[in-house]
Chains A and B, each alone.
Chain A
Amino acid sequence: MPSKGCRILEDLNVIVQRGDYLKSCRVKAGRNYTFGKKGEGQFTINIDGAIGCVYGSSFKMERVANRLFHIKVLENNVASSGIVTAGGEDNRNLCDDGSSQKLTPEEISRLKSSGLTGKEVVQTITENSMTFKEKTVYSQEKYVNKKQKKYDEIITIHRPSIRLLSTMYYLQDPLKISNLRIDSLSQLLCLANVQSGGRFVVFESGTSGLVAAAMLHRMGSSGHLVYVYHGNHPHRDAIDLMNFTTSELEVLSFISYTKLCEQEGHSMLTNGMERPSTTDETGALSSTNEMVFDSEQPVEEDTSLNENSEVNEKESADCQKPTKSRIFVRKQADDVLVSSSILRDGVEGLIVACRLHPVNITVRLLQFLKPGHSFVVFSPYKEPLMELYFELKSLNCTNLRLSENWLRHYQVLPQRTHPEVNMSGGGGYLLYGIKISKET
């Protein structure tokens, strides 16, 4: 967000990008981070060289040990080319018998660790390919790009954004966020009219807190968001990764679904006379009550590498796993009070996003929505939303619309533009509607 600093600093979360690969990490001086899938593609980098640089800067990876890299700012970031020269007409003389590459995998592996740059490695590989010269120019380019992606030693460090987090989660595993694809997420935010200064409710489960994080980003530090969660604690990975400031987090309060149901039983939410206006103040004043959780660290993988004991030792010496500090602006009890007070006064938008059955949740939360305002329910499945459609039809709702999104990426290259060969088969379903006043 524009108000925040634009430099990469310690204790902030960043998104590291290498080719199509994205990974989040928390910047700590002296710490090494492991990237990529286990095996050949895995590498470890120390990102100290990025501290103080502007977000969005690109860096060159410099090898210091077998698979350990340091990074250095890249001044002139232009893609290396010049490997592709004259090419053949077509592929009539090429046959895929696995014998065209003269180098053995071991030799290529040795080449990689010999300190050559990515471009030099790719150059050597193409020179040792007997068929490379016969391929068409387009085919050569495709081949080089493929190899370059593999041996590219450039990384870019970004400020976390909803776009990057959503893409990162989706690349890691769409099911980790209940198949909530970026287009569905974007529409949730628009259809619920999420904006700065408004009051909103979200019920989110199984989407790593991505919806609440996205709502908070759209709200800035004005308005209020009540996050209703299921289970022992809310999912808030994405919220923690966004580097929200305390004033931005003050917009957010949590309440568990069970607590909500209990309170309704005590009619606390409806009559609103117990514990009056002081709730808001206590909530705001008891802020910066930082609690540090160091239990689970799903975003940071084990940094140790088994093959290289030297590096391993060094690592374990100078980097104990840093604790992921989570900012809680209020105590849990105050959160419940703040949340109930907001709900009691009514909200201007409701989002439900989960793979749980949405009917009872939505019907319960709808009572807090002011008439004339919108709600949206996301589910990875169509059937529960169909049930909800009929349920809501008999309640005070109108303009009910069930939809699914379709998203296709394109390869755009001169003379070679076409849809990407692979696409996501589905990004979940949305049920949108507007609440209307009760008949009087």
Chain B
Amino acid sequence: MSFSRCKRLIEIGDTVILYISVTNIYALEVKPTVLNRHGKEIENVFQTRYGCLKITDLIGKEFGSKITLPKGWVHVLYPTPELWTITLPHRTQILYTPDIAMVITQLEIGPGSIVCEAGTGSGSLSHALLRAVGPTGKLHTCDFHKERVQVALDEFTRHGFSDRVTVSHRDVCVDGLGIDGEADAVFLDLPKPWEALPHAVISIKAEGGRICSFSPCIEQVCRTCETMAALGMKEITTLECLAREFHVKYITVPIIPDSSDAAEELKPDYNTETQAKKMKLDIKTSDSEDTNSEDTKVKEIVPSTSKASRKCSESKFMSAISNLKMPGHTGYLTFATVPPGLKRTC
């Protein structure tokens, strides 16, 4: 229940975020027992690299507190839709925070808004939409996959959103969104969004609203935009956004001396190869960065650097290093306005 209202202490039924390291974050539901493979009820224990965590030990703990485990420690954090997005069980491809944030601002969603979403997928965007519509708004989400609908509904209920969401099993391209002239905004993440657009217009309020379509392929975008214009939508915009993350660290680079006698002093093996190795090391440590043992790792690097470059001078500076690999494309976001009094055809 912890998603929908703020609280200090962890209780049974809460979803909490277990933070082990930057790349090791989990969402856990606080329940004392779980069913094992044979359907038998057993104590709920979560295995981490620092040893096992008895879930019941979390009850009564404050959010943000440090939990000591046999071989280290972890932190237990307050759940947010953003942390849920990076920890949720994937049932489909999901939307990530840069796109989600953009969708909510562009669709002008606020407390009290009525929003339609198709399809629900894994519920990554749904959680952010549910937060945005608030207790006075409503999210109507649908998916054409029957099992996903049930799983999503269970999840929303466990997260305390049951009073502001409806989840339905339908194919919106055929059956429409099931909402008529009530919605402030519609979000479509479908293989053929253009088929659902006339239905989307029907679900929007008579005084107008906003529509968004998310598609990974440019061909989908072209057809979507054509249909949007044909239906009389305004302000049709297509954009793409990505977040670039940086690793912040101190970097030491050698300076090659200009004078010839100083150069002679350089050991022959101190060449570009070792530098390349060191750079790799930098990136590696930052990738597998581990809050709980990080300091020791940093120390390990420092002496080796100073040894290797004892003979030449070096320069140390603070730097923000980009990832060697990052997501280059998620999908195109197309937004449009349904003007007031737009003729509805279907």
Chain A positions within 8 Å of B, measured between CB atoms, are: 1-3, 6, 54-58, 77-78, 156, 161-163, 166, 182-183, 185-187, 189-191, 193, 195-199, 214, 217-222, 348, 370-374, 382-383, 386-387, 389-390, 398-410, 412, 414, 417, 434-437, 439
Contact = CB atoms under 8 A, between A and B. Distances in A.
Nearest to B339: A56
A343 B136 CA distance: 26
A1 B131 contact: no
B104 interface: yes
Interface in B215-242: 218, 221-222, 225-226, 232, 234, 236-242
B134 interface: yes
26 contacts: A1-B110, A3-B112, A54-B208, A162-B105, A166-B105, A183-B98, A183-B101, A183-B241, A186-B101, A190-B81, A190-B82, A197-B6, A218-B132, A386-B318, A399-B25, A402-B246, A404-B244, A404-B246, A406-B243, A407-B240, A409-B237, A410-B332, A412-B225, A414-B226, A435-B64, A437-B65
Given A401-B245, A409-B237, 15 more contacts: A54-B208, A54-B340, A77-B339, A163-B105, A163-B106, A182-B106, A183-B101, A191-B101, A197-B134, A217-B110, A372-B78, A398-B77, A399-B19, A399-B25, A437-B64
B98 A439 contact: no
A310 B102 CA distance: 47
B110 A220 contact: yes
B63 interface: yes
B129 to A, nearest CB: 11
Chain B: number of interface residues, binned into ranges: 35 or more
B155 interface: no
A414 B222 contact: yes
B62 A371 contact: yes
B136 A410 contact: no
Interface string B128-142: 100110111100000
Contacts of A2: 112-114, 137, 184
**Is chain B's interface secondary structure helix, strand, loop, or mixed overall?**
mixed
Given A386-B318, A403-B244, A373 B63 contact: yes
B301 interface: no
Contacts of B267: none
Contacts of B65: 371-372, 436-437
B111 A222 contact: yes
A129 B218 CA distance: 35
Contacts of B19: 398-399, 434
B312 to A, nearest CB: 26
Nearest to A388: B248
B145 interface: no
Interface in B185-208: 207-208
Contacts of A3: 112
Q: Which of A58, A383, A405 has the most CB of B within 10 A?
A: A405
B291 interface: yes
Contacts of A370: 8, 63-64
B337 A56 contact: yes
Given A54-B208, A407-B241, A186 B104 contact: yes
B105 A408 contact: no
Nearest to B107: A163
B243 A403 contact: yes
A56 B207 contact: yes
B248 A389 contact: yes
Contacts of B69: none
Given A196-B111, A386-B248, A439 B128 contact: no
Contact of A373 (B64, B104, B132): B64
Given A196-B135, A374-B80, A189 B112 contact: no
A386 B317 CA distance: 11
B77 A434 contact: yes
Interface string B164-177: 00000000000000
Interface in B106-122: 106, 108, 110-114
Q: Which of A197, A371, A373 has the most CB of B within 10 A?
A: A371
Contacts of B246: 382, 402-404
B80 A220 contact: no
A406 B65 CA distance: 35
Contacts of A374: 78, 80, 82
Q: Which 9 A-B pairs have the closest CB atoms?
A: A371-B64, A372-B63, A372-B64, A220-B111, A196-B134, A186-B101, A196-B111, A186-B105, A372-B78
A409 B128 CA distance: 24
Contacts of B221: 410, 412, 417
B62 to A, nearest CB: 6
B27 interface: no
Given A195-B134, A374-B80, A412-B238, A182 B102 contact: yes
